[in-house]
Every structure is written in structure tokens, then in C-alpha cells.
Amino acid sequence: MENLKEIVSRVLEVKDVENISREKTEEWDSFNHLMLVSEIEKNLGIKFTIEEVEKIKNYENLKNIVSKK
């Protein structure tokens, strides 16, 4: 999961990714949400469903979805 942290940190330009959420992180807007999904898919070789993309609300949630892939 270290790669996931690096991707999130790079795309959202934040240092501490553990406690971030879409609701509380200004950098995590709709554009960056799509960029984040795209970068994760490209770098980790996975594909998200539309439902999964919509469910991503915070880092913990994202980590759980990625770990199931």
C-alpha cells in the first residue's frame, strides 16, 4: 500500500494521506478525484467500477477498495 500513499500524495499534493477525505481536503476536488482514480489504475494495474469510484470518500475507504483488487 506504500505505492498507493505515494500516488495519493503526488496527485493531491498533500504529505499526510492517512486522514484525508474528499469532504475536508480542498485539493480533493472532482477533477483531482478523477486524476487520482486514473493514476491508481495506471500505476497499480487495476480497474475501478463506476460504483467503486463513487464510493471513494477518504483514504481509508480508498485503501480498502484497492486492497480487494
CATH number at residue 45: 1.10.1200.10
Q: DSSP string spanning the chain?
A: -HHHHHHHHHHHT-S--TT-BTTT-TT--HHHHHHHHHHHHHHHT----HHHHHH--BHHHHHHHHHT-
Q: How confident is the model at residue 42 (pLDDT cuts 50, 70, 90)?
A: very high
Q: How far is 41 from 48, CA to CA, in rounded Å? A: 7
Instruction: Give how many domains the chain has, as a whole number.
Output: 1
pTM of the predicted structure, to 2 decimals: 0.89
Owning domain of residue 26: 2-67
Confidence check: pLDDT of 1 > 70: no
If you average pLDDT over residues 8-28, what whole number do you get?
94
